[in-house]
Amino acid sequence: MWPLAGFAFGAVVGAVGIALRGKEMAQVARPGAKAVIKAAMVALHEARVRQAEIVEQAEDLFAEATAEVAEERTEDIAATIRAKAQKAAEARNEEVIRRAEIVAAVRSLYAESAGEPSSDRLAAVIAAAEERARAIIEAGRTAGGPASAETIDLSAIKRTRAGGADHE
């Protein structure tokens, strides 16, 4: 506001001087009016420079905040994708283990009963295989300790299967 006030003051002083004394006053007031106008121009330039600095700082701050928000969103999305992928892998691994146990148990039953097992015996063998599969899956989850409580340790599954290879 100061640059415009100085300019207005200079214009008023010049106009009054011209009205009262005419050309004499205009000649005397001219250097003063010129100095006021120059000061107003310098002040206006300084105000524009400060405004540009403030705008630049605000733009930088906005850009930093935008980048941080984008990074946080990216991290959240990546974490969600990893969690869903882990759950899908666990479900697939559990299904593979369950099917492998049932197939092995049924093959063993057919081998020992010459291909003619009773339906009760078949149901019992499948139920036992399901139970073994649950135990293998649980052993795989706990074998790695707290760091891998969400993943299945396939080496533990192999050890459990190798140790519990006797099928009904």
Domain coordinates in residue numbering, the chain: 2-163
Report pLDDT digits (tens) over 53-77.
999 999 999 999 999 999 999 999 9
Provide, rounded to the nearest whole percent, the portion of the chain with pLDDT above 90.
28
Q: Of 102, 99, 93, 101, which is closest to residue 153 (Cα–Cα)?
A: 93
Q: At 148, is the pLDDT very low, low, confident or very high (cuts 50, 70, 90)? A: very low
pLDDT for 37 = 85
Report pLDDT digits (tens) over 84-122.
999 999 889 888 888 888 888 888 888 887 777 788 888
* DSSP letter (8 states) at residue 153: -
pLDDT for 53 = 96
Report pLDDT digits (tens) over 9-48.
777 776 776 666 667 766 776 788 788 888 889 999 999 9
Q: Which helix (H) or strand (E) holds 24?
A: helix 23-112
Q: Is the pLDDT reported for residue 160 higher than 60?
A: no
Q: At 163, is the pLDDT very low, low, confident or very high (cuts 50, 70, 90)? A: low
pLDDT for 88 = 92
Mean pLDDT, the chain, as a whole number?
79
Q: Is the pTM of this model over 0.85?
A: no
pLDDT for 144 = 56
Q: Is the pLDDT reported for residue 146 higher than 80?
A: no
Residue 137, amino acid: I
pLDDT for 142 = 76
Q: Of 31, 3, 44, which is closest to residue 13 (Cα–Cα)?
A: 31
Rounded Cα–Cα distance for residues 30 and 13 (Å): 10
Evaluated on CA atoms 105, 159, 149, 75, the torsion sign reads: negative
DSSP-based three-state secondary structure for 116: coil
